[in-house]
Structure 1
Amino acid sequence: MTKPSGGIVRVQKRDSGYAIIDPWFLSDERLTWKSKGLLAYLLSKPSNWQVYVTDLVKRSKDGRDAVYSALKQLEECGYVERSQKRNEDTKKIEGMETIVYERPIIDEPGPDFPLTDFPDMAKPDADNSTQVINDLNINDSKKKMNKSATADILKSLSKALRKLPLNDTATLYDQYFADIYAMLTRRFSGQLEPEAIGLAADRYFQKAVDLRTGLPKESVYSPVGVFYDCYAEAVAEWTAEQFKRKCSG
């Protein structure tokens, strides 16, 4: 059998059926090629596309352990986020929901992002299911705020993100409004405040924008992750200010 040479590798593609994905993760040296391949497959699917993890195992010859370890690495590097899925009426836990991001929302796992084992399921069932959701434009259906409060949050976030540059022609609102809102509603349920969002935007500008050029710093590769850090600091500051006002009043 002839051994493969180290020469040019040519890629042939069909004229149709292309998928548009952010290629940033392909250069992320923290990821194995296995993880990059799985992430590319997940991101090639439409928004809110769902699949059972066990179905991913069936669609590849890599085997169960390879798929689960790839998902685990994607979670560790911030491309995958997992949370409990509850029935809206009974509040009973129905399983785990897995959200997949184009760019990592965290630099490294911390106490607020505990890593969890993916369940070893022989087959999916209604009571113990794990789903993967391609979260390119996701609206959080689990928020417990009333409509007027939600409108205030959306309006404040929209106003804040329109002031933050993504590049020389677009703002964070243009590309990351849905992702940042989804992240905030999951990570800060019950802690979303218009004033805190404004504080977070100010912190984001100070951390992520070059004051000389007015453009984002080259080191910022995950706007969602940076905004998470900024909001965590902002909500702590806002909470402290509310406490001081209450005590002084």
Structure 2
Amino acid sequence: MLNNRRLGSRIFDHAILVLGTLAMCLPVYGLFAATTHPAGSGIRMRLDPGGSGFENYGNFIVGSAGFSGDITAVTMLWNSFVLGAGFAGLKVVLALLAAYCLVYFRVRFASLIFWILIFTLMLPLESRFLATFTVVAQLGLVNTHGGLILPLVASGLGTLFFRQFLLTVPDALLESAKLDAAGPFRFLKDILVPLSGPTAAALFLVLFVNGWNQYLWPVMVTSDEAGFTVVRGLQFFGSASLTGAMLAVAALLPPALLVILFQRHVVKGLFDGSH
């Protein structure tokens, strides 16, 4: 009787998971299926795949648009990748260094500094865009990758994650490093960085998706068509066009693949802490 209850419970649990997966994936498949039909058939959600998928996506990859002809799928995907990877990578490095200083150095008003960093999480990112754009324009970073990435690299969230992780590192490791005559840089490089690997990987993936999906800041800081990101391209082409629909499908693939491939690292880094 008990085994039958367990079997029924498992079947019910798996049915819920399957239904939830279908509910999330079906709209994406419907959009993809719509892009495989001829261009003149219109864009609407459908489940039947067409026979023009290779032709449509071939033209999508090699085609160009815009007044200057610089808007291409490859260029937009590359710009989004640079933004996402630079955004995430620099945030992780800066957050780890900030947490390292707050935990292992006698910084005056360290607690106050930490709570100010936490307070920044309560402020919407868009609330400081106007002031940030003024600084970026004065530095001549408009229409550059540096202008896209550098103003967004400070991360209170990343500092919080790394600080909480570093507080769990045993003090014996620090004492052993001191006995081995290891300085602060060597202690960070040889001990803390390897230990922080899962946390850094998980945080990188989350921040990469966040950077990949940025819309307002790229709109403000890039007026050159060669600097358009995927999300900016969606606004340019519109959701009702075939190119816009294919761009929406392409925009989903890199973040989805990263999350699927490294989901174990995400769970381990964010919830297990590798300790």
TM-score scaled by length of structure 1? 0.25
| Greater helix content | 2
Larger Rg belongs to: 2
TM-score scaled by length of structure 2? 0.23
